[in-house]
Amino acid sequence: MTYIAKPKVHHPALLKNAVGLIRRDYEGSITTLCAGCGHDSITAAIIQAFWELSIEPHKVAKLSGIGCSSKTPAYFLREAHGFNGVHGRMPALVAGANAANRDIIYIGVSGDGDSLSIGLGQLCHAIRRNVNVLYILENNGVYGLTKGQFSASADPGSLNKKGEANTMEAIDGCLLALTLGATFVGRGFSGDKAQLVPMLKAGLAHNGFAFIDVISPCVTFNDHEGSTKSYAYTRERNVEVVQADFVAPAAAITAQYDPGTVRNVLLHDGSWVRLRKIEEGYDPTDRDQTYAYIRERQKAGEVATGLLYLSPDSSDLHEQLNTVATPLVQLPYADLCPGSAELEKLQRRFR
Amino acid sequence: MTYIAKPKVHHPALLKNAVGLIRRDYEGSITTLCAGCGHDSITAAIIQAFWELSIEPHKVAKLSGIGCSSKTPAYFLREAHGFNGVHGRMPALVAGANAANRDIIYIGVSGDGDSLSIGLGQLCHAIRRNVNVLYILENNGVYGLTKGQFSASADPGSLNKKGEANTMEAIDGCLLALTLGATFVGRGFSGDKAQLVPMLKAGLAHNGFAFIDVISPCVTFNDHEGSTKSYAYTRERNVEVVQADFVAPAAAITAQYDPGTVRNVLLHDGSWVRLRKIEEGYDPTDRDQTYAYIRERQKAGEVATGLLYLSPDSSDLHEQLNTVATPLVQLPYADLCPGSAELEKLQRRFR
Amino acid sequence: MDRVNNFAFKIATANGTGSASSNGLIMQTIFRMGVPVTGKNVFPSNIQGLPTWYEIRVSRQGYTARTPQFDLMVAMNPATYQKDILELRSGGWLLYDSTWPLDPLLSRPDVTYLGIPLAEMCNAQFAAVRERILMKNIAYAGALCALLDMDTSVIRALLTEKFSRKPALMDSNQKAVDIGYDFAKANFPCPLPIRLEPMDETRDSILIDGNTAAALGCVYAGATVGAWYPITPATSLMEAFKGFCQKYRQEPDTNRNRYAILQAEDELAAVGMVIGASWAGARAFTPTSGPGISLMTEFIGLAYYAEVPVVIFDVQRTGPSTGMPTRTQQGDLMLCAYASHGDTRHICLYPADPREAFECAVASFDLAERFQTPVFVLSDLDIGMNDWMVSKLTWDDSYRPDRGKVLSAAELDHVKTFHRYLDVDGDGVPYRTLPGVHPNGAYFTRGSGHNRFGVYTEDGDEYVEVLDRIDRKIQSAARAVPAPFLRPAPGAKVGLVTVGGCHAACTEALDLLAAEGVAIDYMRVRGFPFGDDIRAFLDSHAVNFVVEQNRDGQLRSLLMLETGVPIDKLESVRYYGGFPMSAHHVIAAVKARLEKAA
Amino acid sequence: MDRVNNFAFKIATANGTGSASSNGLIMQTIFRMGVPVTGKNVFPSNIQGLPTWYEIRVSRQGYTARTPQFDLMVAMNPATYQKDILELRSGGWLLYDSTWPLDPLLSRPDVTYLGIPLAEMCNAQFAAVRERILMKNIAYAGALCALLDMDTSVIRALLTEKFSRKPALMDSNQKAVDIGYDFAKANFPCPLPIRLEPMDETRDSILIDGNTAAALGCVYAGATVGAWYPITPATSLMEAFKGFCQKYRQEPDTNRNRYAILQAEDELAAVGMVIGASWAGARAFTPTSGPGISLMTEFIGLAYYAEVPVVIFDVQRTGPSTGMPTRTQQGDLMLCAYASHGDTRHICLYPADPREAFECAVASFDLAERFQTPVFVLSDLDIGMNDWMVSKLTWDDSYRPDRGKVLSAAELDHVKTFHRYLDVDGDGVPYRTLPGVHPNGAYFTRGSGHNRFGVYTEDGDEYVEVLDRIDRKIQSAARAVPAPFLRPAPGAKVGLVTVGGCHAACTEALDLLAAEGVAIDYMRVRGFPFGDDIRAFLDSHAVNFVVEQNRDGQLRSLLMLETGVPIDKLESVRYYGGFPMSAHHVIAAVKARLEKAA
Ligand SMILES: Cc1ncc(C[n+]2csc(CCOP(=O)(O)OP(=O)(O)O)c2C)c(N)n1
Ligand SMILES: Cc1ncc(C[n+]2csc(CCOP(=O)(O)OP(=O)(O)O)c2C)c(N)n1
Ligand code: SF4
Ligand code: SF4
Ligand SMILES: [Mg+2]
Ligand SMILES: [Mg+2]
């Protein structure tokens, strides 16, 4: 908390981070989204997170699908490569890019239509592969860009602008991710930057697929009375379960909290995530407890937020594939081609 | 149990059911699958279930995707329309067919590759829509028809024929279905017909999407030592949690079991499912308990089988769409076309 | 040149400021004055804040094509002043909000500036922020009443109809109209030379967009199942279908639906649902655009080979890939004709305006069921989403759906063994049965190799027999699709061929060329596969201009492949920048070529 | 006619009985005797129990095309006796298992029956059930040694190599060979007139299938990322790639992989992974077949428009839809050339045999990166999965991958603002940058409208400028793809054009026709877009036969569209029953047409 609040104190806009960049250096082109769109707040949080982590923008690749949410990578990290692919297929693009160059920091931005409708299969399989990417699902319960149809995350009974009720079960991205064995599962709210920024940082540091579902109200099509993804509804119903602080590799951990309520998880890059459990007895490293807890809250009409689950041991795509440490794109051709002599030799097999 | 055992006593092959058909009448063309393939046993159970329910074959439509498993609809109910679609897309075909004609009994047969890889998105959304179909996932952990690659249901650590271990998390169809709000979730084993047949019957009677994951060993590519989908492994590890008996609408329920362990669930067609809880305190109508229980068993290296979850109230696609009782295909054209006078009238809107 | 009832103006605003209702009001007023009018909405691929334009063409001759030059610009969006001013013809007028001074750099000596303090006046009159924004739009409509001599009684009547139940809104709208009207009257020489005069040219016409018309066609054809995944510019088709169904497809007593709309998770599922529903016997359809067609490609091949009826509306937009989703194009002609791997060929219909969209919609279901195959209706964003003036839609109550060769239970009683893919009648079209009807009707539908009996096969000859029959079947559809529209010109030596929405630009261009003494025979193809009449037309001219809206000359490609006419007879005329084609595109190309020849 | 080293025989068994190893043994034995030989595996789309055949053609002239008539049938599968017997030429021999009596109805007076009690003898010799089944296959191989005069020392040598580490297996196999051999020697007049004589025609050749060769090409080209979804007949390509990588792509000390193979959840994901990997700078590819191409259609359009290199192997099978997955065809020529909605056009390579599959694989990566676009390598089941005799693969160690215009960090130091889609060199090919390399290299890749600077646009002119450049770029690739293979015939008036695997049938047919005094110029296209040389060839003949394996004459369509050659110059010759084409298909069609002409 304090950690991320600090900058605010001394004129954040001008403050330089470890690589000598100010926050402005992490911005992109100006948004074309509706004024008040939740997605823009998430963009701001992303900018904040990268700046605080002092990551060189060009070491990052930002990918997305299609939708209002998927447009946002254009609005941050202007010095990073961006890829706005086709609808619902960003997970495949990230998996391929990551396979080719494991040294890049990948961030994927998607929407609930992009991820849970047309892209559901790809999302699920990217989770299974544990591709090393921070995956942000900007969740507003509707297809914003096509003018407000219900998405698969719309809750049963939730009303659209015309007053029609959604009849189908909602897909809860967090429950789904846990069921598929995700190694990092969080939920945020575009309106709560203080909670979101450290979660994003932990997700960037996580070695594997970091899934964060961010409730991000669509002011134009789903912010009305009767919507369960509106600002009002979310403010009222969201319960912060786990408060995550991110502690960079260097920094020491000063256990200034009652140990019973704190848990520090070491990430493979040497950084720490300090999970402060608001809820007594909640263990954010227990997949099944987490699942059960989210369901309980759901049944109580509440939305559990925070870094809900973090697997202490996560082996990403490359560990599973046992690929070399050097990014494949950097291997010299000489290491890849067996040469003519070997070709002559191996053909004995075909005689 | 007794209920399905009975026929065996008096020469089942010749026995006529209520519509005067013998078991042979429910068969199809002869199988082209490998001798010993689990899928063939499931086909036999399906034949048994339809025969016992005295369903007229031509009132049934059988659909499938592509794969060895998806070939099986050709091997039962020769008098029913069959549709062997494209790979992984059977759920869409069923949804459309069901929307058009709700009076037909739909059975969909798929494989783990067909359902959990290429077809995962469609399966998930069919569950959300609660399309009224008995959906059988013939699960062997591999792509049989393409010669044994790991499917998404292969367990981590499970070995293929070459001895290579699978590294990715397995997708458990039952956990997935529960997470998506499925109204009927069962798991069977092709080797246990006695358990499977009543479950199939309950699934056919269920008003909505009845999902049954059936472990069905691939003798050619995944029945070896080190496989977790082999006959040996499954026989040894499967734990029957809930024994379901199906009681036809007419039949009376004679509570011959200690009430504490029995639960009768009324289905919308007036038939009953008698759930005999082998496990004390297990409530097959509690979604979250079921989920937690399956996970527990999993962690204990066991496979929970039986009719694991049954939602007492399930409203299918048509109830959600509020469609007329008459199948849409039977509506007379006169009821569909507003006619010329109305056309003239409504065009005032466009002036 | 007399500008009365013959001019074009453009309204530049920003997305999401509610200018749509004001523009609609203007359109309807002109229409109700009996003057032919067309409107084209040029909007961005976002929801709020980006520039958007509405182009209105008033044409006493009834021309509907887009004109790239404007007589009057209502420049409400400072962000695009510069660009907008350049689109004015010399001698034109620019109406702007003079609440803020206009940048002198933007002034054009040959343009008359009409400044109206719209914001200022509206802020004075209206309290609520949103209301102030909305009423600014109504106010410029009021100003146009004065400047163009629009009938104020008509506009008042329209407001009364619209707000009959909301008197408060009625008042503020009327007030806004008056503000604009009075200011213009007081400060400018009204009316301008470009003005309106009542006519009687719209009595038998309507203002409608193609998606709405197509949706009506689906309702009248008796379609009961619609499956879709939202995509611009096809979305409004399904929304319109839903609207009509809510009105006409409720079961009286129960209020239950005589239709089912399935919002699928993607286009693969949408077309799969249509195939499933059609297979079960319903008339089913899906509206989509280019990206959706690409995703449907595999399923389309299944429907072709397993012979299942499918109706797909491709409301084309600018490709490739995501392209420009809010711009128009005819880029899917080749894809739809041959979609999917292996040997496939599909029936296509090409409406030229909303009225034909209605007719093609109805025809598509008859063709799909008669030939048991996918049928594409290729419309585009311009036809589908813009307001066209077309003659009223009519309906023949004696129409009965052509369900094709479907065996009834009674017929199946007499069939011993039913053979799904047998060419019983020698016309290449086999008989089908529906599930649930009769035990004798059972068969197995599959996309894998099958023989004429419907049995799985890996035998080459059996496979070829079925595939060849399907080919004959599709070819025979050439006689069943709508014949080309022909407009011969006495003494013409050259021909001009086009497809779909280019019709408006082509016919206008041909009139103008004719006036200059250039006679050209005209043909617009309306269906695929092509019939002999199309080949005959091409053969009968040394040169045929082929006018279309795509880069690669896809219509020309189809003509070459299907008629065998050599390329040197086909002179390609293409425009594919995303706007609807204009007459000048055609005229310029034709003249250039004819001069070259001369 | 002399049958020495010039005959064909066929082995009929059932799927899953392990005849593959026996057939391979026979193939290799003949090959090592220096005699040209080809094998074609005809297998069903299931795993066990259905009929399967292996056709072996021995041709001293080195012809590799399929022959539909056989001199000898090894009829091991009673289920297909009837069908098999009919495929024997008059005067042919039928070898069958006489353990069970042969149905007299099946006897043909013009065929000699050779009964061998294989099951009986094997049951006597071997205990285990599975062993008995397997050894029966080896036993008929032994019998063929005697009947065809196969060199027993060669077969023994082969067994020794194969079972060097399993002496027990070595013995039983040798025993089985002897059983068959001795029985044949004792009971039949060995050798038969169809027999082998050692030659020296295979010294510089190998027996290899196209998928293995293509996989080798990927390894040698330096591909590091392969993404795929299993599908017959493409599966073995990725399996072979994996095999080679395990041998050649291990980091010495760590034993970690210098490659990544991603088994995707479907083909949409597979091609998406390839696009992502190529975008990041790796050489990436995906092998698939027709259904996969259909599913990749949308993504292919993205790669075309966003200009990302992609290599796709389409090992074609019989379509449409699922079709006959274990039969061959050339049904995707049109789809691959123009895949996706909107205006698109793609580079295609057409190997004719495994050797060219190897060469095309290497070339495809160079072309994809040089032109920053998808490249298709169109092989088919016959080339991909059958054992072809081709001259040894060779490699030039001076080869360096052509990565195309990729800016290095050093170069980017001097670039102030990088413009992704600017035609700097006037050749239509822009410069690329890779992520992670340099801050100056950043740009935004998108499938939506963009201008030459890589900035999002909805401006028609900016959009057109980029789309036209891409068109020029792809057209320029016509000079970079492999030139057509030409074989002029002195005094020829007509031409014959073909593509891919039809080469074997066409060249054999042309030899035979030449022998009859019919001279025909030959051209085989090897790459798309077509260059001027192709148009020139077609122009230079009054008639060009176009030989291909699909129903709709897709190669002919491509020739018409791309060269503008009129249809009446193109005489279509098609065979598409699922088997590889034979010389007689070509000869029959050519003669028919020439007689008609005469
Ligand atoms: C293949 C395809 N189908 C449909 C579309 C149209 N489309 C664009 S964005 C979108 C949905 C976006 O919803 P979501 O992902 O929730 O993003 P949001 O706009 O709500 O942020 C759709 C259906 C498309 N671009 N591509
Ligand atoms: C689009 C497409 N891709 C790939 C294939 C090849 N294919 C056929 S079946 C199959 C997998 C079948 O696996 P599963 O569903 O588990 O069925 P099983 O054979 O194991 O019963 C695949 C990949 C195909 N038919 N279509
Ligand atoms: S439509 Fe909704 S999601 Fe899209 S930009 Fe506007 S507010 Fe955001
Ligand atoms: S391969 Fe496996 S799944 Fe397929 S039929 Fe044989 S045993 Fe069954
Ligand atoms: Mg959304
Ligand atoms: Mg399987």
Residues B317-329 pLDDT 10s: 999 999 999 999 9
Is A121–B120 a contact, with Cβ atoms under 8 angstroms apart? yes
Give the per-residue pLDDT at A7: 45
DSSP letter for D449, please. Answer: -
Chain C hits for A118, CB-CB cut-off 8 Å, are 229, 265-267
* Strands D51-59 and D37-42, sheet pairing: antiparallel
Q: For residues C534 and C531, what is the distance between their CA atoms, to the nearest angstrom?
A: 6
Q: For residues D464 and D460, what is the distance between their CA atoms, to the nearest angstrom?
A: 6
CA–centroid distance, residue A28 to ligand 5 (Å): 22
Between D138 and B250, where is the model more confident? D138
Give the per-residue pLDDT at A296: 95
Return the percent helix, strand and coil in chain D, to nearest 5: 40, 20, 40
End-to-end CA distance of chain B: 70
Alpha helices per DSSP H over A38-137:
38-53, 68-71, 90-100, 112-116, 120-129
Sheet holding D444-446, edge to edge: A262-266, A272-277, A238-247, A303-310, A184-189, A209-215, A133-139, A105-111, A60-64, A81-84, D444-446
Give the per-residue pLDDT at B257: 55
Q: Which of D249, D272, D448 sits opposite A93 (nearest CB)?
A: D272
Q: For residues D248 and C465, what is the distance between their CA atoms, to the nearest angstrom?
A: 48
- Determine which helix (DSSP H) or strand (DSSP E) holds A140, and give its type and residue range: none
Chain C hits for B73, CB-CB cut-off 8 Å, are 444
Number of H helices, E strands in chain D: 19, 21
Chain A hits for C232, CB-CB cut-off 8 Å, are 146
Is C322–D446 a contact, with Cβ atoms under 8 angstroms apart? yes
* Strands C51-59 and C37-42, sheet pairing: antiparallel
pLDDT band, residue A312 (cuts 50/70/90): confident
Pocket test for ligand 4, best of B30, B31, B32, B34 (most atoms within 8 A of CB): B34
Nearest CA of chain C to the CA of B273: how many Å?
26
CA–centroid distance, residue C45 to ligand 3 (Å): 12
Give the ligand 2 atom nearest the CA of D230: 23
Please calculate the CA angle A216-A220-A222 and round it to the nearest 5 degrees.
Answer: 55
Q: For residues C547 and C571, what is the distance between their CA atoms, to the nearest angstrom?
A: 9
Q: Is C32 on the interface with B (CB under 8 A)?
A: yes
pLDDT at A1 over 50: no
Is A328–D227 a contact, with Cβ atoms under 8 angstroms apart? no
User: What are the strands, taking DSSP E only, across chain B?
Assistant: 60-64, 81-84, 105-111, 133-139, 142-143, 149-150, 184-189, 209-215, 238-247, 262-266, 272-277, 303-310
Give the per-residue pLDDT at D14: 92
Instruction: Tell me how far CA of residue D529 lies from CA of B212, C94, D17, D480, in angstroms.
Output: 51, 50, 45, 9
pLDDT at B14 over 90: no
Phi, psi of D139 (to 5 degrees): -65, -40
Number of H helices, E strands in chain C: 19, 21
Is B147–D291 a contact, with Cβ atoms under 8 angstroms apart? no
pLDDT at A259 over 90: no
Instruction: Tell me how far CA of residue D533 lies from CA of C42, D156, D501, D530, in angstroms.
Output: 46, 51, 21, 8
pLDDT band, residue A254 (cuts 50/70/90): low
User: What does the pLDDT average to over A237-241?
Assistant: 91
What is the mean pLDDT, run by run of 10 residues, along chain C of 598 residues? 92 91 96 97 92 97 94 95 94 95 86 96 93 94 97 95 92 95 97 97 97 98 98 98 98 97 98 98 98 98 98 98 98 98 98 98 98 98 97 98 98 94 98 97 98 96 98 98 97 97 98 96 98 97 97 98 95 97 96 85
Question: Looking at chain B, which residue has its C-alpha nearest residue A171?
Answer: B180
pLDDT band, residue B266 (cuts 50/70/90): confident
Whether C12 contacts C73, CB under 8 Å: yes
Give the per-residue pLDDT at A5: 43
Q: 3-class DSSP state for residue D446?
A: strand
Q: Give the ligand whose atoms come closest to the C-alpha of residue B123.
A: 2
Which residues line the pocket of ligand 3, CB cutoff 6 A? A 33-34, 37, 39, 68, 140, 144-145, 218-221; C 47-48
Instruction: Tell me how far CA of residue C246 lies from CA of B181, B335, C193, C213, C250, in angstroms.
Output: 29, 13, 46, 16, 6
Instruction: Tell me how far CA of residue C273 lies from CA of B128, B181, C299, C395, in angstroms.
Output: 15, 22, 10, 29
Q: Give the ligand whose atoms come closest to the C-alpha of residue D322.
A: 2
Whether C52 contacts C72, CB under 8 Å: no
- Determine which helix (DSSP H) or strand (DSSP E) holds C356, and give its type and residue range: helix C354-371
For an interface test with A, the pick among C265, C288, C297, C315 (most A C-beta atoms closer than 10 Å) comes out as C265
Is B175–A176 a contact, with Cβ atoms under 8 angstroms apart? no
Ranges of chain D whose pLDDT falls below 50: none
Number of H helices, E strands in chain B: 12, 12
pLDDT digits (tens, 9 = 90+) for A121-177: 999 999 999 999 999 999 999 999 999 999 999 999 999 999 999 999 999 999 999
pLDDT at A2 over 70: no
Q: Report the percent of chain B where pLDDT is more than 70.
A: 93
Which residues line the pocket of ligand 4, CB cutoff 6 A? B 33-34, 37, 39, 68, 140, 144-145, 218-221; D 47-48
Give the per-residue pLDDT at A117: 98
Q: For residues B11 and C553, what is the distance between their CA atoms, to the nearest angstrom?
A: 71
- Determine which helix (DSSP H) or strand (DSSP E) holds D90, and give its type and residue range: strand D88-97
Chain D hits for C560, CB-CB cut-off 8 Å, are 560-561
Give the per-residue pLDDT at C104: 79
Nearest CA of chain D to the CA of C178: how many Å?
36
Nearest CA of chain D to the CA of A349: how many Å?
9
Helical packing angle, C460-476 and C354-371, nearest 10°: 150
pTM score above 0.95: yes
Give the per-residue pLDDT at A10: 57
Task: Work out the mean pLDDT of chain A and round it to a whole number.
Answer: 92
Nearest CA of chain C to the CA of B342: how many Å?
10
Rounded to a whole number of angstroms, the CA Rg of chain C reads 27
In chain C, positions 367-396, which contact chain B (CB-CB < 8 Å)?
Answer: 392-396
Is D326–C294 a contact, with Cβ atoms under 8 angstroms apart? no
Phi, psi of B222 (to 5 degrees): -150, 45
Tokens of C367: 């063709």
CA–centroid distance, residue D289 to ligand 2 (Å): 13
Q: Which residue has the tokens 């290599």?
A: D311
